């Protein structure tokens, strides 16, 4: 079964726009869990423009599903996740000032750094994942870092989906097969939506987890949060 982990960064962005605690990020996460999602994802950045480190501690203390914390492995980020001990840490190579994630790791170039970080996290019992392009060379290199999973960066799939879905999915299908053969779990995320999720799930196997935030929260403006979570779960079950 592929689990749905809902990225709640956009809820925090809305809260931060006015100050205060509306909408309540923790309550939103608890509601999302109650609507059937099997995980919560957050991606704190140093400027605190959406999820704050304090949110991560609150979530770990209160949610009952999996907590996936994504981020660039700065010293502050690593110290925070070692204290929080989420179920999973996904290492992302974006610079601290980046608007959003826009590329996967060049694993060979950062092999020693990633291997060291993975070792530190796994000693604390934290499942590790690295954000990666659908490139077999990078996936093969990831094995030697000791990481548990790779998260396939799916922006290119989403961009190509309407034009030629079969061409769009091909590198992801092959990458997932390679990762599985090498003993790596497979996650996926970035620009997955109600429009393209079911086909991705049908074609990419095995797929442990999808992390979806922007599209899901946008859809919730029209369909309501509960209905939207259930609609995404339905797409994963097709």
- Kindly name the residue from 33, 66, 70, 209 that is annotated as catalytic: 70
pLDDT at 208 over 60: yes
pLDDT at 127 over 80: yes
- Kindly name the residue from 33, 151, 190, 209 that is annotated as catalytic: 190
With DSSP H G I counted as helix, E B as strand and the rest as coil, what are the percentages for the chain, rounded to 5? 50, 15, 35
DSSP element (H, E) containing 172: helix 165-181
In the predicted model, what is the mean pLDDT of residues 93-102?
Answer: 67
**pLDDT, tens digit (0-9, with 9 covering 90-100), for 146-181:** 999 999 999 999 999 999 999 999 999 999 999 999
**pLDDT, tens digit (0-9, with 9 covering 90-100), for 63-93:** 999 999 999 999 999 999 999 999 999 999 9
Could you check whether the bond before residue 167 is cis, i.e. omega within 30 degrees of 0?
no
Beta carbons within 10 angstroms of residue 48's beta carbon: 13
Which is nearest to 21 in space by CA: 65, 55, 47, 70?
Answer: 55
pLDDT at 16 over 70: yes
DSSP element (H, E) containing 3: strand 3-7
What pLDDT score was predicted for residue 1? 86
Q: Is 55 exposed, middle or buried (0-12, 13-18, 19+ CB in 10 A)?
A: buried
- Of the chain, the percentage scoring pLDDT greater than 70 comes to 97
Quote the CA–CA distance of 230 and 238 in Å, as a whole number.
13
Domain that residue 136 falls in: 3-237
What pLDDT score was predicted for residue 117? 98
Q: Is 85 exposed, middle or buried (0-12, 13-18, 19+ CB in 10 A)?
A: middle
User: Does 70 participate in catalysis according to the annotation?
Assistant: yes
Confidence of residue 47 (pLDDT cuts 50, 70, 90): confident
pLDDT at 101 over 80: no
Number of domains in the chain: 1
- Kindly name the residue from 43, 66, 151, 209 that is annotated as catalytic: 43
Which is nearest to 70 in space by CA: 1, 138, 3, 153?
Answer: 153
CATH code of the domain containing 208: 3.20.20.70
- Of the chain, the percentage scoring pLDDT greater than 90 comes to 92
Q: Determine the 3-state secondary structure of 200 from DSSP.
A: helix
pTM for this predicted structure: 0.95
């Amino acid at each position: 079964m592929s689990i749905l982990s809902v990225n709640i960064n956009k809820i925090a962005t809305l809260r931060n726009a006015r100050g205060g605690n509306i909408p309540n990020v923790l309550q939103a996460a608890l509601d999302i869990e109650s609507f059937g999602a099997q995980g919560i994802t957050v991606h704190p950045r140093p400027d605190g423009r959406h999820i704050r480190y304090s949110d991560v501690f609150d979530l770990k203390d209160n949610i009952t599903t999996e907590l996936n914390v994504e981020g660039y492995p700065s010293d502050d980020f690593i110290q925070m996740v070692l204290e929080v001990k989420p179920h999973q840490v996904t290492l992302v190579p974006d610079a601290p000032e980046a608007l959003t994630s826009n590329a996967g790791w060049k694993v060979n170039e950062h092999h020693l750094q990633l291997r060291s970080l993975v070792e530190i996290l796994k000693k604390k019992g934290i499942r590790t994942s690295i954000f990666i392009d659908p490139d077999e060379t990078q996936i093969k290199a990831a094995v030697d870092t000791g990481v548990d999973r790779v998260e396939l960066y799916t922006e290119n799939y989403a961009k190509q989906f309407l034009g030629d879905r079969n061409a769009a999915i091909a590198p992801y299908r092959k990458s997932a097969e390679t990762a599985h053969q090498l003993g790596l779990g497979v996650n996926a995320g970035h620009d997955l939506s109600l429009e393209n999720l079911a086909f991705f799930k049908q074609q990419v196997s095995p797929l442990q987890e999808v992390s979806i935030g922007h599209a899901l929260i946008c859809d919730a403006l029209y369909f309501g949060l509960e209905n939207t979570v259930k609609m995404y779960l339905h797409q994963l079950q097709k």
